[in-house]
Structure formats: structure tokens, C-alpha cells
Structure 1
């Protein structure tokens, strides 16, 4: 399995428009964060978790030539807004793109991208297959995916475990039952928005406490805002087995 971080930023990305803070003015490439998404390549298949507004840029940067499915964590725009650009893969692969998400999320996609789901057959419209998921393991092209139900304030969101890799974004609460699904993962990715508490995201200390509890071999932090601080400085505060993710970072399992 190969995992590549396509984007590691919060909903505004980093730098933030109009901001003059040290992070937003940083010349460190690790402080340039597109909206959050990850590419998982396993058993010859390529899966994307979330297609945010930077999806096209991310596909071009990583030279992704094939995509077998898109998994959505939830319906917020910073995780779904790039869906239209899957039509490039329709053209390249001559397939309707499978989309996996909670039925609530699929319904929202049908509303926001209504032109995809009409019967007009307008040329160039993305072609998709909808696959509703629930809180139980499901199969994607022969790959077993285990959903992990977390809370984003009051909104249910799915994280996903694929083999020894677990990916969780936009969470501020994970029940003990769902944490059991995470335990045993070699790599766990979790959101860490900033150092101060937030109503719908883990803070840095909360994310580290969660990682300590599930105890992976390696932990990565994502969905990072400019308020967390400069990458090089925050890295110095982390335990040896935990790192800040950054756009373009990849690893193999």
C-alpha cells in the first residue's frame, strides 16, 4: 500500500486569503496546504478519500492517471467541491466512477451536482455510480474498507481503515466502540486544527491524546490551519512517532 497526502489544510487552505501571519507568509513548502484529501494505492487499485475544491490541482501534481473509486467522509464543500473533475477519469478509463458515502452525503451530492444526475445526457457531464455505505465493512474493487464513525460537532462523519492504515478527518469525538476499530493500525492519520480547543475539530493536544490511546506505530496530523503554527516549529513539539503531514508526503505500508 502507498499513501499520498494530496492536501493537508483546513477548509480555507494555507495560506489564507488576505492573511499576513508568519505561517501564511512562510516560504516553507510544507506550510502550503491545499484542502484535505488522500490517495491510497493498494493491490493495483487507486482510491481517493474526498475530492475537495483543489482536486484537479492535486491530480495534476501527483500525475494520477487512474482512479478506481472516491470515498467521501462527509458532505462539506472542502471535501466534495471538486467532484466535477472526475469526468477526466470517465474519459480515460471509459467507466462510471464509483462513489462511496453515507446516504445522507450521496443525497447532498445529488442536490449540489444535480446536472450529473439528470436524464439529459449532456456531453461532458461526469458519470458516477452511487454506493451507499453504513457503519460496517464494505468492498471496493476487492479491497475491504472499514468505516469508523466519528463526530464533527453534531455531524456524523466517516473515517476509513484500509488494512493497517486508518484515516480520520473533521472529528472532535470518537466513541470507545469506534476506537476499537482503529487499534492495531500501523499508521493513523487524524485531524489537528490548531492548539486552542475548537467546537468541531480536535486540537493538537486532543489529537495527540487520541493517538496515544490507539497507539499506532506512526501517527500523522492533517486538516491543519494556519493557527497551528509553522511546520518546522510544531514538529519540534511532537513525539518521535508523530509527524505533521504535508502536501505531497507519501509513505508505503
Structure 2
């Protein structure tokens, strides 16, 4: 059975934040229940592993699963918390004498190339604007609103009658942005807080209460919330709707048409 593993489920700063003395960051330092690396998952397919986002915690994430090298990575957008590990991956490829493969929409690849122009020595880039296949999965990107931070891409995966999507950095989706969320068996969705009080123009990711409305509208069978900030405490009993749960670092999720929802 194919699956994916949460290598990280934190927001752009991770948890704990070095400057912060809040209760969540304090607990993360003491016992680690709330310790969260930047958001990333490793998808395990019949054709091998596909990393989804390669942020600045990449080295620690690889060490955490005992992985000494990867060949393929899918990128959602060119913000540092999602691409900051690419130089380290490229350097690993240099030492291993291999060449990795990065898949992303053209405009994402162009931004990455402008920031890290030397990466192509060790990483091949593959535009996937029109979609791609990997390990038998049909994978289609679509552009989503990332609030004050501009845009991101989400991905819809389909295989053998099973459909799931990864949408880590989005807010206030409208119209066609919601269409690929229909008829999903599983949605992985980013939510920074349970309820965020900051004004909407200053924000970039859903909070949980807004996510619940989106889920009710689009109707996923199961939803896992990721991209959690230090505003989320896993020790709290949040009133989550049926079929909704919080992600955990190292959590493994099985994919397939015979998987039963929560």
C-alpha cells in the first residue's frame, strides 16, 4: 500500500521560534510534543519516493528518517520555507555523483533559478504546468491565493479511483481555486492557528475555523491539518469536525481506494 510521511508540519518559522517564550514554544523545548519542522511530506510510491517541498529543515528531516539521498522533489512555491533545502540537496547530489529532479510550475522554477542560479549543475528542473505522472499517480498543480504572500500552488493526486490533494499555503480561495478540492478522499490543508485574530489583509494561511467552512463546502472524506504555528497546541482538545485531525511529525498516512476514512 502506498503512503506518505509528514517530515514537517510547521509554519514558515517552525516551532519553537527562537525568540518566543510562549507556552507552546516552551513545551516544544521541554518535551517536544509541539516541536515542528517546516512543512514537507515524503510520498512513497511504486516508483520510489517523491519529496513534496524541500525547506531549510531538509537535512534534519532526512536524518530523522535515515535517508541518505533523494532523486525527486515536487515544489509548491518559491518561498524559503519550501525551497531553503535545495542548495543542501544539490550539494548532496554533487558528493554522490548523482543529479536530482525538481518538478514545479514554470514561474516557480524561474524564481528558484534567480535565487539559486548554480542549482542546475546538480538538479534537473522539470516544468509541470500541464500536470505530470509519478509512480502511476496523475499529479496536477493549480494556483491558489496565498494572501499577503502572493500565490502558491496546490497539487491534486489521482490513481485507481483515489484522489487526494496537498494545499499547505492558501487562504480565501474563490471560484475555480476550489474546484480541484471536490470529490477528494483526503485533503492536506495548511492552518496556522485555531482562530487567528489578525486582519485578513495581513494574513496568508487559513485558520482552522475557516478551514472547517471550506471543508463543509467542498466535502472531503478526511482532512489532515498541517503548517501549524506556535498558535496551535497539540495538548488542547480543539473541537474538530468528524474526519478532521492535526498532523504530527513522522505521521504516516496510507493512500488507496480501499482506505477507510476516519
Does TM, scored on the shorter chain, surpass 0.5? yes
Q: Please provide the CA RMSD for this pair.
A: 2.0
Partner of 2:218: 214
In 1, Cα distance between the equivalents of 2:113 and 2:124? 12
Residue aligning to 1:241:
243
Q: CA deviation at 1:114?
A: 2.0
Cα separation, 1, equivalents of 2:244 and 2:62 = 26
Structure 1 residue ranges without an equivalent (≥5):
118-125
Contact 1:48 1:70 in 2 (8 A): yes
Q: Is 2:229 the partner of 1:225?
A: yes
Shift of 1:12: 0.9
Alpha-carbon separation, structure 2, partners of 1:191 and 1:153? 13
Contact 1:149 1:174 in 2 (8 A): no
Asked whether the equivalents of residues 187 and 222 of structure 2 are also in contact (C-alpha less than 8 Å), the reply is yes
Asked if the contact 2:71–2:99 (Cα under 8 Å) also holds between the matched residues in 1, the reply is no
Task: After TM superposition, list the pairs within 5 Å mapping 1:162-241 onto structure 2.
Answer: 162-163=157-158, 164-194=163-193, 195-197=195-197, 198=200, 199-228=203-232, 230-233=233-236, 235-241=237-243
Query: What is the DSSP-based 3-state SS (H/G/I as helix, E as strand, rest coil) of the residue aligned with 1:239?
Result: coil
User: Residue 38 of structure 2 is aligned with which of 27, 30, 35?
Assistant: 35
Question: Residues 74-223 of structure 1: matches in 2 within 5 Å?
Answer: 74-87=77-90, 88-89=92-93, 92=96, 95-117=98-120, 127-134=122-129, 136-140=130-134, 142-153=136-147, 155-163=150-158, 164-194=163-193, 195-197=195-197, 198=200, 199-223=203-227
Query: Structure 2: how far apart are the matches of 1:89 and 1:140?
Result: 21
Q: Which runs of 5+ in 2 are unaligned?
A: 256-262
Length-normalised TM-score, structure 1: 0.87
Offset of 1:240 from its aligned partner? 3.0
TM-score by length of 2: 0.84
- The answer to whether the 8 A contact 1:39-1:46 is kept is yes
* CA distance in structure 2 between the partners assigned to 1:99 and 1:14 by the alignment: 27
* Number of corresponding residues: 241
